[in-house]
Amino acid sequence: MLEATTKTVLTSCRRIVVKVGSSLVTNQGAGLDLDALSNWARQIAMLNAGGHEVVLVSSGAIAEGMQRLGWRSRPNAIHELQAAAAVGQMGLVQAYESCFRRHGLHAAQVLLTHADLADRERYLNARATLSTLLNLRVIPIINENDTVVTDEIKFGDNDTLGALVTNLIDADALIILTDQSGLFTADPRRDPAATLVSHAMAGDTQLEGMAGGAGSSIGRGGMLTKILAARRAAHSGAHTVIASGHEPDVLLRLAQGESIGTLLTAPALSLAARKQWLAGHLQVTGRLVLDSGALRALQVDGKSLLPIGVRHVFGEFQRGSVVACVSESGQDVARGLINYNSDEARRIIRHPSQEIPSLLGYGGDSEIIHRDNLVLL
């Protein structure tokens, strides 16, 4: 049953997000690998001709900038990373445009930060722009806007960015190409008994225990970020494949249903678009610590969050901000749009909803977060 699913799940995917890692794009940091870029462009052009819509999330700007600037190790200072990105982005985009032009296609550069996707209006604008580009048969080349990004608003890795773009455009699949063959039961570089996980469900917590740290000194991601990206992509019902970018014609073979690498399938149910947006918030301005009764109301009963179930409020925020809901042990359990600002929230928590008018001096919402504005993680 799993084998049949593995071989057929991608054949019906119309809209695909492909993420290519830095080590593939830059030949392990030795400058842009033009043959590799040409290979991706050729495969994507063939998919496009076959009726698929493809968005490419490409790492490589910082690595290319490091090579051009003669830096052998990735800097830690944010301004040096921004400078490397600014230099490297020029070569990366020029190379992709040249490669796609050979196949009669145009490429478009789209640089994003978390702030672009955290703000609802900018999120919808980005969605509309990408949809328009795809309708025009233009190939969007997406990267994090490293020239302006800060620690507070960065995605952290392009695996996460790929998953959020997958949610953003309602893609059917996310294909993460790396220099590894897929997810193994243990690190195959250290454990010769490790075996490839060919198929699993996205979000299975056992997968996180199998994943290790960052795979190279060039990129920021590791196998763990890919597992977490698959879980995030599943919010919109998208399946994820983690496969080696060194496999010949890997994109074409996957689209034809061949089993390559690790397939992480999404559950049958997916989140509504608004809740996908909520779930995609990586940074929040506030946190609510919930007691066990509130956790049960949210996770088991599907109810709204009431003030009486909130133990503590951290952070400063306004009404309508996206805040995190966490357990008393600190585990993230939900994201939601809060009905009160931080000062008001601190005054009403641990109290029954009927006491809100006397506590605030006016009648407000009985829920601190309504269930329609809340998504479980």
Q: Are residues 191 and 327 in the same domain?
A: no
The CA distance from 86 to 64, in Å, is: 10
Better pLDDT: 63 or 36:
36
- Residue 202 and residue 234 in contact, taking contact as beta carbons nearer than 8 Å: yes
215 — pLDDT class (breaks 50, 70, 90): very low
The CA distance from 108 to 136, in Å, is: 11
Q: Are residues 226 and 316 in the same domain?
A: no
pLDDT at 311 over 80: yes
Q: Are residues 103 and 182 in the same domain?
A: yes
pLDDT at 262 over 60: yes
Range of the domain at 195: 2-275
Evaluated on CA atoms 337, 339, 344, 345, the torsion sign reads: negative
Q: Are residues 187 and 270 in the same domain?
A: yes
Q: Are residues 214 and 65 in the same domain?
A: yes
Question: In the chain, what percentage of residues exceed pLDDT 70?
Answer: 88
Q: Are residues 268 and 175 in the same domain?
A: yes
DSSP code of residue 273? H
Q: Are residues 264 and 357 in the same domain?
A: no
Q: Are residues 259 and 354 in the same domain?
A: no
pLDDT at 10 over 90: no
Instruction: Tell me the CATH number at 302.
Output: 2.30.130.10
| pLDDT for the residue numbered 23 | 81
| pLDDT for the residue numbered 4 | 41
Mean pLDDT, the chain, as a whole number?
Answer: 85
Q: Are residues 194 and 217 in the same domain?
A: yes
- Residue 367 and residue 305 in contact, taking contact as beta carbons nearer than 8 Å: yes
The CA distance from 173 to 152, in Å, is: 29
Question: What is the total count of domains within the chain?
Answer: 2
- Residue 368 and residue 345 in contact, taking contact as beta carbons nearer than 8 Å: yes
Q: Are residues 179 and 45 in the same domain?
A: yes
Average pLDDT over residues 179-203: 86
8 — pLDDT class (breaks 50, 70, 90): low
Better pLDDT: 330 or 145:
330
Q: Are residues 230 and 347 in the same domain?
A: no
Q: Are residues 146 and 116 in the same domain?
A: yes
The CA distance from 337 to 62, in Å, is: 35
For 3, 65, 279, 282, 375, the CA distances from 332, given in Å and listed in that order, are 34, 36, 11, 11, 11
HSE toward the beta carbon, residue 219, CA cutoff 13 A:
29
How far apart, in Å, do the first and last CA atoms of the chain sit? 28
192 — pLDDT class (breaks 50, 70, 90): confident
Average pLDDT over residues 94-121: 89
- pLDDT tens-digit profile of 316-336? 998 888 899 999 999 989 998
274 — pLDDT class (breaks 50, 70, 90): low
Closest to 355 (Cα-Cα) out of 307, 320, 296: 307
